[in-house]
Structure 1
């Protein structure tokens, strides 16, 4: 099992201490977001091959792969100045990803409003077409450097369903575009009791394009669906890990939104589920 977590789900600290803490948990990989994990400049123009190599070497001391560079931004921000800042920073991550020992830079698909949050305005056709235009620009840069744009769907974004993810993959015709699959991000009050049906549809539509798997969990209380520490909620990991073992051996499984004091128990839960699948 190739399991890891988001580095910023550990409290921010100097890089050697962060690597030591993650290594002590027996992790094989991380999703690494520079600005969220380190107190170092990470604005557009701050990256260099030397910095990438410094970070990679630190993780190498504990045998931890940087599986994903997280560079999440609002790719359809109505403030075009802010959108361009985010786009330029994402493209810079693509250019230097290999220096971090990484081939994937990931993001979600943004929001029609500058203030992020759930809105059904995201579900109209025009926001989706704006996403397509932005992703095409990102993928064109990725193709130059032989790296991958990883796109993550989410119920509060323009790409919020299996069908929308499939459309995005079809409309941006490039293998340098792959999927960061977070099954919890597709769960709603309306579909969570038939989650296996959603998973089956996703695997049929784009299972072959999944490059990274995100492990989260969810609960439903008082008519509200929300995240929960992995292993304490309703996510059917028997189904998910059964599919992964059969179809995606050694895929990077990145636990996210599980923080202390739950991390060790959640990692043990995932390892046990994977062994039994």
Structure 2
């Protein structure tokens, strides 16, 4: 009752056929596909997508039993330069228009930073940043509603939507079922709050568990007073709690392993599957 997937670009940028072969061999049945990061068959630029392109990519993965669960468009949707932000919004809209042709209904992103390079800005947690993000989200949501697809957003501790309460405020403000959540427990944490992870995970499921449609899976350790990502099961994340909540609230949800080196992918998949069966 759980689907385990991964991100093709964690294997490095390759042809679609090569990616499909490698992912299929590892036993994964779904992916989060970021064209610009993963696919070497062409240099993706705005305006290049078409139904033919999307369906060709979809069919290549389908032949290996792999479904595209999320079309990733991880761009700084709150870019401080309005001209650049406009270009990034246009790219996201293109993903929204053609996502169904990939056999998928979800376009995923994070919530951005007031720094153009996506780095942390001290004002990311402020009201001005929130309003700027919401201005963009309203545009993307309107496009998603036209095409009957979903914009899925992630909390990230250093970005603009950085707490469970702030995510709940986004969902209440936008008031649209076309906006849903990709939940990554590690993204909630930093060196100061990681010992409160149980409360943060539970709070997230209480506040917006009904809106979680994808789970991202990685793990962490604390190194040099900062979060360092490690493969699932090799760190400090309370996976037993996370999988218990997933099993209770989100049967058959897609769980996508990320930031994982190739040599740990299969063992990470087995760790999650075994733990899910036990809880």
TM-score (norm 2): 0.97
In the other structure, the counterpart of 1:195 is 197
Counterparts of residues 129-168 of structure 1 (less than 5 Å): 129-168=131-170
In the other structure, the counterpart of 1:28 is 29
Deviation at 1:238, TM superposition (A): 0.5
In the other structure, the counterpart of 2:184 is 182
In the other structure, the counterpart of 2:12 is 11
Gaps of 5+ in 1: none
Matched positions, count: 277
Counterparts of residues 86-125 of structure 1 (less than 5 Å): 86-125=88-127
Tell me, what secondary structure is at the counterpart of 1:121?
coil
In the other structure, the counterpart of 1:73 is 75
Tell me, what secondary structure is at the counterpart of 1:211?
strand
Cα RMSD, aligned residues only = 1.0
Deviation at 1:151, TM superposition (A): 0.5
- Separation in structure 1 between the aligned mates of residue 77 and residue 118 of structure 2, nearest angstrom: 12
Deviation at 1:115, TM superposition (A): 2.0
- Separation in structure 2 between the aligned mates of residue 77 and residue 137 of structure 1, nearest angstrom: 14
- Separation in structure 1 between the aligned mates of residue 165 and residue 248 of structure 2, nearest angstrom: 24
- Separation in structure 1 between the aligned mates of residue 82 and residue 200 of structure 2, nearest angstrom: 35
- Separation in structure 2 between the aligned mates of residue 179 and residue 256 of structure 1, nearest angstrom: 16
Pair 1:57-2:64 in alignment:
no
Tell me, what secondary structure is at the counterpart of 1:178?
strand
- Separation in structure 1 between the aligned mates of residue 202 and residue 266 of structure 2, nearest angstrom: 30
- Separation in structure 1 between the aligned mates of residue 99 and residue 18 of structure 2, nearest angstrom: 22
- Separation in structure 2 between the aligned mates of residue 81 and residue 176 of structure 1, nearest angstrom: 26
Report if aligned partners of 2:190, 2:226 keep a CA contact under 8 Å in 1.
no
Give a deviation string over 1:38-73, Cα, whole Å, max 9, x none: 121321110000001001100110111100000011
Tell me, what secondary structure is at the counterpart of 2:260?
coil
Tell me, what secondary structure is at the counterpart of 1:213?
strand
In the other structure, the counterpart of 1:2 is 3
In the other structure, the counterpart of 1:266 is 268
